[in-house]
Amino acid sequence: MLLTDLLALPFFEDRHRDLAARLFDWASRHVPGLVDHHDVDGSCRRLVAALGQAGWLDACVPPNGETLVPLDVRALCVSRATLAYVDGLADFAFAMQGLGSGGISLFGTPEQRAAACPSVREGRAIAAFALSEPDAGSDVAAMSTTAQRVEGGWRLDGLKTWISNGGIADHYVVFARTGEAPGAKGLSAFFVEADSPGLSVTERIEVIAPHPLATLRFEQCFVPDACLLGAAGEGFKVAMTTLDIFRPSVGAAALGFARRALDEALQRATARKMFGGVLADLQLTQAKLADMALDVETSALLVYRAAWTRDVQQRRITKEAAMAKLHATEAAQRVIDAAVQLFGGLGVASGNIVEQLYRDVRALRIYEGASEVQKLIIARQLLAERRERG
Ligand SMILES: Cc1cc2nc3c(=O)[nH]c(=O)nc-3n(C[C@H](O)[C@H](O)[C@H](O)COP(=O)(O)OP(=O)(O)OC[C@H]3O[C@@H](n4cnc5c(N)ncnc54)[C@H](O)[C@@H]3O)c2cc1C
């Protein structure tokens, strides 16, 4: 399905259609010259600067001193689907600016917002979100990094891992245990400059779809009082509210990857000669293409339904966002796998577009809440709705 067909859905307004068309045109012309997949740090720096200068980061970071809500979630999702279609690293660079500054723009004071957000929005600073730890991934409440009150601020000690933009970020939103209550209620969020004494990058992590990713160590790292985001003890809320807003956009990125894979598969299937015709003449191929299209279009409906609900009905979208993320990421994996199959040997050849997509899509089913976690969220919401109805 063409992007223009998806954007004709009643979920959108003309400004979203215009955004998608302009961003696609810009990304097609500029992104290939900015990305070198063998130099992800340099690529991400160039991408962030270019996205900021061209004004595309306006869709994920609010202007000077303003809060993230109301954020145009449809604009965020359209941007991610468009960038992911063109290049996974471009989508990554875009999304992390929003996720990495979300805690500041949502819970920061006007001074904190004004100090941090404009440079992130303009692509002059790189942002990151440091929640996960070696022993606390899905189980966020098991976090063991601590922040102890000291004169004038806090002292952070512990390890954070799987931190996207780790090593190239200018600042991090870091979550640590401050102990107001046991478990999730005893966490707080902090804005931490990357050059803070006591903060170091201990390891760069290599993954199948390379991007800047690192483990951070905090050793008696002093953070001034002015860097606490929200109230002490509110860290879990800061993390979950940020993730709630960005979750449907992970589905949007998956949708972008899946659309690209379907387009590439259609092109290949109609060009590849075999058995006296082309691959697309075979009914088993047609069945595969039909399944792929169904997966793409159901993902689009769920992702854009979640974004529309948030924007237009202005209510929490916990269930809708979880459904969008779960379905779109799982479906994109199936679509891309089918595309690899249709390409035959070429599908697994390094550097082929579907091989790249195959690696790009995998982590989306794990981060920002693994698929199993999304299922639990959906079921809990269903049961709560049932209880409310009595
Ligand atoms: C590429 C990448 C980028 C990332 N970027 C960031 C980042 O920028 N900042 C950050 O803080 N973190 C980041 N993460 C970390 C990510 O959020 C965690 O990997 C994720 O939360 C899962 O945690 P874990 O890896 O410790 O897996 P675990 O928590 O050990 O979970 C392993 C598996 O257990 C299963 N599982 C989990 N819960 C349940 C359940 N309730 N029932 C049944 N099965 C379950 C799931 O299949 C899950 O994948 C990133 C991860 C990756 C891979």
Active site residue 355: no
Closest residue CA from atom 30 of ligand 1: 137
For the Cβ of 370 lying below 6 angstroms from any atom of ligand 1, the answer is yes
CA distance readout (Å), 375 to 141, 266, 313, 317? 19, 32, 23, 14
E strand or H helix at 147, and its extent? strand 146-150
Catalytic option among 206, 219, 368, 372: 368
The Cα 137–Cα 189 span in angstroms is 16
pLDDT at residue 361, as a whole number: 98
Ligand 1 atom nearest to 160, measured from its CA = 11
pLDDT at residue 168, as a whole number: 98
pLDDT at residue 67, as a whole number: 77
pLDDT in tens, 25-39: 999 999 999 999 899
Mutate which of 367, 371, 373, 375 for ligand 1 pocket (most atoms within 8 A of beta carbon):
367
Q: Is the pLDDT of residue 1 over 60?
A: no
Q: Is the pLDDT of residue 342 over 90?
A: yes
Average pLDDT over residues 161-181: 97
Average pLDDT over residues 275-301: 98
Closest residue CA from atom 37 of ligand 1: 138
Directed axis angle between helix 88-107 and helix 73-86, to 10°? Answer: 160
pLDDT at residue 3, as a whole number: 66
Q: What pLDDT band is residue 306 in, cutting at 50, 70 and 90?
A: very high
For the Cβ of 373 lying below 6 angstroms from any atom of ligand 1, the answer is yes
Structure tokens at 389: 């109805």
pLDDT at residue 280, as a whole number: 98
Tell me how far the alpha carbon of residue 368 lies from the centroid of ligand 1, in angstroms.
Answer: 7
Tell me how far the alpha carbon of residue 364 lies from the centroid of ligand 1, in angstroms.
Answer: 10
Question: Which of 67-71, 189-193, 264-268 has the least mean pLDDT?
Answer: 67-71
Average pLDDT over residues 236-243: 94
pLDDT in tens, 104-146: 999 999 999 999 999 999 999 999 999 999 999 999 999 999 9
Tell me how far the alpha carbon of residue 120 lies from the centroid of ligand 1, in angstroms.
Answer: 26
The answer to whether residues 212 and 43 touch, using CB atoms and an 8 Å cutoff, is: no
Structure tokens at 219: 């050793």
For the Cβ of 372 lying below 6 angstroms from any atom of ligand 1, the answer is yes
pLDDT at residue 390, as a whole number: 82
For the Cβ of 164 lying below 6 angstroms from any atom of ligand 1, the answer is yes
Q: What percent of the chain has pLDDT over 90?
A: 93
The Cα 128–Cα 172 span in angstroms is 5
For the Cβ of 304 lying below 6 angstroms from any atom of ligand 1, the answer is no
For the Cβ of 135 lying below 6 angstroms from any atom of ligand 1, the answer is no
Q: Closest Cα to residue 165, out of 131, 193, 132, 130?
A: 130
The answer to whether residues 292 and 261 touch, using CB atoms and an 8 Å cutoff, is: yes
Question: Which of 45-59, 105-119, 149-163, 205-219 has the least mean pLDDT?
Answer: 105-119
Has this prediction a pTM greater than 0.85?
yes
Mutate which of 162, 165, 201 for ligand 1 pocket (most atoms within 8 A of beta carbon):
162
E strand or H helix at 174, and its extent? strand 171-177
pLDDT in tens, 82-113: 999 999 999 999 999 999 999 999 999 999 99
pLDDT in tens, 59-90: 999 887 777 777 899 999 999 999 999 999 99
Q: Is the pLDDT of residue 201 over 80?
A: yes
For the Cβ of 278 lying below 6 angstroms from any atom of ligand 1, the answer is no
71 SS3 class: coil
Q: Is the pLDDT of residue 2 over 70?
A: no
**Number of C-beta neighbours around residue 249 at 10 A:** 32
